[in-house]
Chains A and B, each alone.
Chain A
Amino acid sequence: MEYLKKYPKLFQWLFLLAVFFGLCFAIDVPETYKFIRGQAEFIKDPNQSVYFFLGKEVRYYAFDVFWRLPPLLGWLPIWINDSLFFLMNEWLPMEFWNEDTQEFKTRPLLLQISRNLTSFMTFLIELIREILLGGLNTIVAFSSWDWIDANPWAELPGLPWTIVAAGATILSYKLSGKGLALFAGLTMIYISIFGQWKPSMQTLSFILVAAPLSFIFGLGLGIAAYKSKRVEKALYPILLVMQTMPQYAVLVPALVLFGVGDHAAVIITMVVAVPPMILLTILGLRAIPPEVIEAGRMSGCTNWQLMLKVLIPTARRDILIGVNQVIMVCFSMAVISAFIGAKGLGFNLLLALNQLNIGLALEAGLCISLIAILLDKMSLAWANKQTDYFGNLTFFQRNKNVIFFAASFVIGIILAYVGTFIFKGSFNYLFEIPHNKGISTADFWNKGVDWIFDTFFIYIKAFNTWLIQDVLQPMRALYLRMPAVATLVLAVGAGYLIGGIRSALVVCALTLFIALSPWWDRALVTLYMATFGVVISCLIGFTVGTLCFQNKKSAAFMLGICDIFQTFPSFVYLIPVMMLFGITDTSVLIAVVVYATIPATRYTIEGLRSVPVGLHEAATMSGVNKFQRLTKIEFPLAFPHMMLGLNQTIVFALFMVIIGAFIGTEDLGQYILKALSDKNGAGIGLTLGICVAFIGLIFDNLIRTWVNQRKKHLGIS
């Protein structure tokens, strides 16, 4: 009793667990229950129960309510579909002038808006694409097909790759110096001679539209939220859900609204990339010391000057992290949006993965990653650039970059022209190296994969079988064995113990939504995969982070590696694991582990770093050894920050589990992927996305509440 009085929390937790397990054992598995695959499709089945909602029929397998709650939200996807359809096709018809047919046409307002937005995006992408690759669509947009037919010279010829490469190198040199210039040059040459030029430039044109637009919108909305509490309150829930919403899930509704193609991809990318930008903008602006703002005011800044010259530059650090996130998301989406018809490297990557051509996938993936790193570094360098006022420069020195570019422009054109004589009858390698005519190492990699497979087949197979049979299957069975009511009690109880009645209610609402949707079983499968990934990632991440922290250099090195890995589009992680483990759950889980280890490691190092130096010294003077210092001082203080890392790890793991559906899993992701090819998929896709987001949010809420309390307790908030 003494013991329990001393630790009342422990007693409460034990009680909660006892109730949970009690419920688990008390509620039997219904005899008819097996892991049902077809539930969400509402197949007509005499064994199914039916209920009507607003005249809509919802069918489901009926079980004991304690075992599985009835899918009372089953009407939601159908309702979303109907509403979308109504909005797009029937709502507010208006007269619009049609340029092509020269007459007024009646169209629903939203459809018209969507078409206008779409054509605007298409124009932007085409413009950049045609500068890089040539074409005539942009010119047609300003003139007419007849005019182009009459004046064939007006077709944009596209820049030879040598000029683009030189341009990127010179720009990098101007922004940052020799190192980045070298990297830019090598990247461009690699892209070109490996025959990835065209898809790379297509992807680049997509990014060059999506990233700046996302940045501007994110910054703008962030500033609006900073200035007005009301805007912030309105934005906050959306931001929260979007942060944990898997990118797949947004694809489907966007498909309905904006159709198929690059333009839809840009819009979706903005939807995904803007929320983190907003959050980081708000965070950065909030952190500005009030005296800096006052200094700006006292210098006589107008509101605009204050925002542009004082607030935004001062919040630069966080805003730059936002830019990094935007670029990361853009490249990630560049791959994923290949599902809805975006052209470029992503399309090639998916194609190669589908054909199990690991070598080709690897090359495309490397290209995407290289361009992503390059753009990331360039944006960073641009923001940190310094002006030199004092150097008494000559005209040449001041304009040398422009002059060099002009020179390389001329040389590039001459080379391309000369190329037409050298490579008569074949491809002009000095202009553009076509996709299948570059050097390719695909064969080498494929052979390598084959070799690995042949040589280590027994071991890989043994590992695979062991993992699936002895670890994953039992784990999945355990998760599915939980009665819905028991899970609900556990979640709500945890919410209450951590954050009181408020947290309990939030967690209850989120869990109920999933439990009442038709995909509770799938959500459990998703959860089990994510749990497995998170546990392993945290073990690795915390260990690696702690070890690296022991030495300043290795810590900085590790953080650098995390930066680079984070810039890789999430899809790229699937390539090497498919190389080794083929199409199995093991592959997905290993990708999950690798991907989710990044935040775990990063937050561990950052957390340990944030422990005040004074405490280190105090501890050293108390005569602790290194290990004691770690366990008694550093871990307890860094723990809240490390828990935030856990939060990120969960989000990353969930994302990867969902993307893993591409390899073939049985969780929510699989249904999202299916919804993509379903004409009524929008509602299902969105609802599934919300389910995944809610899983993330449940943990987010619990962890954040705990961290905030803990930080207050330790006095380090």
Chain B
Amino acid sequence: MSETVIKCESVYKIFGENAKKMLEEANGNVDAKTFQEKGCIVGVNNASFEVAKGEMLVVMGLSGSGKSTLLRCISRLTDATGGKIFIEGQDLLELNNKELIDLRRNKMGMVFQSFALLPHKTVVENIAFPLQIKGTNTEDSISRAMEMVKLVGLDGRENYFPRELSGGQQQRVGIARSLAVEPDIWFLDEPFSALDPLIRKEMQDEFLRLQEKLQKTIMFITHDFDEALKLADRIAIMKDGIIEQLDTPANIVLNPATEYVRKFTEEVPREKVLVIEDVMDTSSKDNLGDLKVSKDEIIENVAEKILTQEKIVGVVDSNNNVVGSIKPSKIIDTVFGGRKDSN
């Protein structure tokens, strides 16, 4: 689980003519404003992080925050101006064209905001496309594509053209296409942003179901904080190309590192994000009542049960060992406390 798949070391992406030279002169101290005066735009500013195997890192930021640029640096759709990026220990920026193509054909899959389906190919042809590019013969690639069609629940529509599908269905095709070559690393660039709220929720659930089954290493880009909270193992919040905070959803909600991050967390219903483990008291395990709750429960789901107790509620782990306790008043604190702070 802890094996590192993606590793970034102070990655910079600066757009403009003398970007490389200016970056060297800046000596690691990049200021977006001074760069802009000289005609350069800073896309990604000193990004360092690691993504472990099977982990889902969600990069959250508003438009123009550089989150898509960061993703494109890691997939090398654009070349980073400075820093190092390692994919499974390989230095990405050192790869030649052939090795890069090889890496993309076998290890990477990517889903796009506007779906980016090929308009002249049917659903099944679109999904089979990366396989055919790889050189798989028609019969094998089509039968594999049909498996993917079933996986994303589009059976019966395999001969439709993208223009004949709804947005949600098109994105299912995009997802199926990105998974067709069984990549280890999965990039998703605001995959659900162009969809209706209802469809979006449905797709998010579907996505979680898929991930449970597939256990890919994922970088997921979104501008929707709720979406980030719902999906992420860890969240990176970006602003003006800088990663403001990179932490688990609970930590971000409980301990926002900067003012900017805190603004996002203000409106977040904590009971929907935090699990019992985040708020339990590990020091006292005495005087427990009859009710035991699992430490992995989301607060919202057990709040009612706990609040109706008069005694302290015990918290147990998956082996039913008591690992801590929680008072009903703590629940009230968690649900209402955060908002009091902000006022």
| A interface residues, Cβ below 8 angstroms from B | 289, 291-292, 294-295, 297-302, 305, 309-310, 313-314, 316, 386-387, 389-390
Q: Which residue of B lies closest to A306 (CB)?
A: B133
Q: Of the candidates B77, B129, B142, which one forms a contact with A294 in the assembled complex, judged by CB atoms under 8 Å apart?
A: B77
B148-179 near A? 1/0 per residue, CB < 8 Å = 00000000001100000000000000100110
Asked if B105 lies at the interface with its beta carbon under 8 angstroms from chain A, I say yes
- How far, in Å, is B256 (CB) from chain A's closest CB? 32
What are 28 A-B interface contacts by the 8 Å CB criterion?
A289-B114, A289-B116, A294-B112, A294-B116, A295-B112, A295-B117, A295-B118, A297-B104, A298-B104, A298-B110, A298-B178, A299-B104, A299-B130, A299-B177, A300-B101, A301-B101, A301-B133, A302-B97, A302-B101, A309-B129, A309-B133, A313-B118, A313-B121, A314-B118, A386-B122, A389-B142, A390-B158, A390-B159
- B residues near A389, Cβ cutoff 8 Å: 124, 138, 142
Complex interface: chain A residues within 8 A of B130 (CB):
299-300
Which of A300, A301, A302, A314 has the largest number of chain B CB atoms within 10 A? A300
Q: Across the interface, name the chain B residue whose C-beta is closest to A290.
A: B116
The 10 A-B pairs with the shortest beta carbon distances in the complex, nearest first, are A300-B105, A299-B130, A295-B116, A291-B116, A300-B104, A298-B110, A313-B120, A291-B112, A292-B116, A300-B101
Q: Within the complex, what minimum Cβ distance (angstroms) separates A311 from chain B?
A: 10
Q: Closest residue to B138 on the A side, CB-wise?
A: A389
- The residues of B that contact A300 with a CB separation of less than 8 Å are 101-102, 104-106, 130, 133-134, 181
Given A289-B116, A313-B118, decide whether A297 and B77 contact each other with a Cβ distance below 8 A.
yes
| Chain B 119-140: CB-based contact to A (< 8 A → 1; otherwise 0) | 1111011000110011000100
Query: A residues within 8 A CB of B177?
Result: 295, 299
Complex interface: chain B residues within 8 A of A302 (CB): 97, 101
Q: Which of B75, B120, B158 contacts A298 (CB 8 A)?
A: B75
Say which residue of A299, A301, A305, A314 sits within 8 Å of B120 (CB atoms). Answer: A314
Specify which chain B residues have a CB less than 8 angstroms from the CB of A301 in the assembled complex: 101, 133
Question: CA separation between A99 and B140, bound complex, in Å?
Answer: 53
Assess the B138–A298 pair: CB atoms within 8 A.
no
What would 14 more interface pairs be, CB under 8 Å, given A313-B118, A313-B120? A291-B112, A295-B110, A295-B117, A298-B104, A299-B105, A299-B130, A300-B101, A300-B105, A300-B133, A302-B97, A313-B119, A313-B121, A386-B122, A389-B138
- Within the complex, what minimum Cβ distance (angstroms) separates A380 from chain B? 13
Once the chains are docked, how many angstroms separate the CA of A387 from the CA of B121?
10
Roughly how many angstroms separate A299 CA and B176 CA in the complex, as a whole number? 12
Query: Bound complex: CA of A651 vs CA of B6, how far in Å?
Result: 58
Inter-chain contact A316/B120, CB cutoff 8 Å:
yes
Distance in angstroms between the alpha carbons of A300 and B110 in the assembled complex? 11
Q: How long is the Cα–Cα vector from A289 to B118 in the complex, in angstroms?
A: 11
In the complex the two chains form, what is the Cα distance from A301 to B109 in whole Å?
13
Query: Does residue B113 face the partner (Cβ distance < 8 Å to A)?
Result: yes
> Inside 8 A of B109's CB, which chain A residues have their CB?
298
Q: Please give, as numbers and ranges, the residues of chain A lying within 8 Å of B125 by CB-CB distance.
A: 387
Q: Does B108 contact A (CB under 8 A)?
A: yes
Contacts A289-B114, A316-B120; A298 near B77 (Cβ below 8 A): yes
Name the B residues within 8 Å of A310 (CB-CB): 118
Give per-residue flags for B75-91: 1 if the beta carbon is below 8 A from chain A beta carbons, else 0: 10100000000000000
Interface of A is mostly: helix
Distance in angstroms between the alpha carbons of A222 and B78 in the assembled complex? 24
Q: How far apart are A330's CB and chain B's nearest CB, in angstroms?
A: 25
Check A291 against B133 for contact (C-beta < 8 Å).
Answer: no
Q: Given contacts A299-B129, A389-B124, A389-B138, is CB(A292)–CB(B110) below 8 Å?
A: no
- CA A295 to CA B77, docked complex, whole Å: 10
Cβ distance A392 to chain B, nearest Cβ, rounded Å:
12
User: In the complex, which residue of chain A has the Cβ closest to the Cβ of B114?
Assistant: A291
Which residues of B sit under 8 angstroms from A299, Cβ to Cβ? 104-105, 129-130, 133, 177
Residues in A neighbouring B158, C-beta threshold 8 A: 390
How far is A297 from B77 in the complex, measured between Cα atoms in Å?
8
B108 contact set on A, CB distance < 8 A: 298
Chain B residues, Cβ within 8 Å of A386:
122
Assembled-state Cα–Cα distance A390/B143 (Å): 10
Task: Please judge, given known A-B contacts A310-B118, A314-B118, A386-B122, whether A291 and B113 are in contact too, CB under 8 Å.
Answer: yes
B110 CB contacts on chain A under 8 angstroms = 294-295, 298
Chain B residues whose CB sits within 8 angstroms of the CB of A309 once the complex forms: 129, 133
B133 surroundings in chain A (CB, below 8 A): 299-301, 305, 309
Alpha-carbon gap, A389 to B124, bound state (A): 9
| Assembled-state Cα–Cα distance A155/B306 (Å) | 100
User: Smallest CB-CB separation from B126: which chain A residue?
Assistant: A295
CB proximity of A188 to chain B, nearest CB, Å: 30
A605 to chain B, nearest CB (A): 22
Shortest C-beta distance, B179 to chain A (Å), equals: 12
> Closest approach, in angstroms, between the C-beta of A454 and any C-beta of chain B?
57
Complex interface: chain B residues within 8 A of A297 (CB): 77, 104
A299 and B75 CA atoms in complex are apart in Å by: 11
Contact partners of B119 in chain A: CB under 8 A = 313-314, 316
Residues of B within 8 A of A295 (CB): 110, 112, 116-118, 174, 177
- Minimum CB–CB distance for B32 against chain A, Å: 23
**A390 cross-chain contacts in B, Cβ below 8 A:** 158-159
Q: Which residue of A lies closest to B128 (CB)?
A: A389
By a CB distance below 8 angstroms, the chain B residues around A387 are 125
Identify the closest chain B residue to A295 (Cβ).
B116
Give, as a whole number of angstroms, the nearest-CB distance from A128 to chain B: 29
Q: Give Cα A637–Cα B130 distance, bound, in whole angstroms.
A: 43
Q: Which residues of B are found within 8 Å of A291, using beta-carbon distances?
A: 112-116
Contacts of B102 in A (CB 8 A): 300
CB distance from A529 to the nearest CB of B (A): 44
Interface flags, B256-289, vs A, CB<8A=1, else 0:
0000000000000000000000000000000000
**Binary A-proximity of B174-216 (CB < 8 A = 1, otherwise 0):** 1001100100000100000000000000000000000000000
Minimal beta-carbon separation of A591 from chain B (angstroms): 39
- Kindly state the separation between the CA atoms of A299 and B159 in the bound complex, as whole angstroms: 21
For B134, what are the chain A residues with a Cβ–Cβ distance below 8 Å?
A: 300
State the CA gap A302–B116 with chains docked (Å). Answer: 18
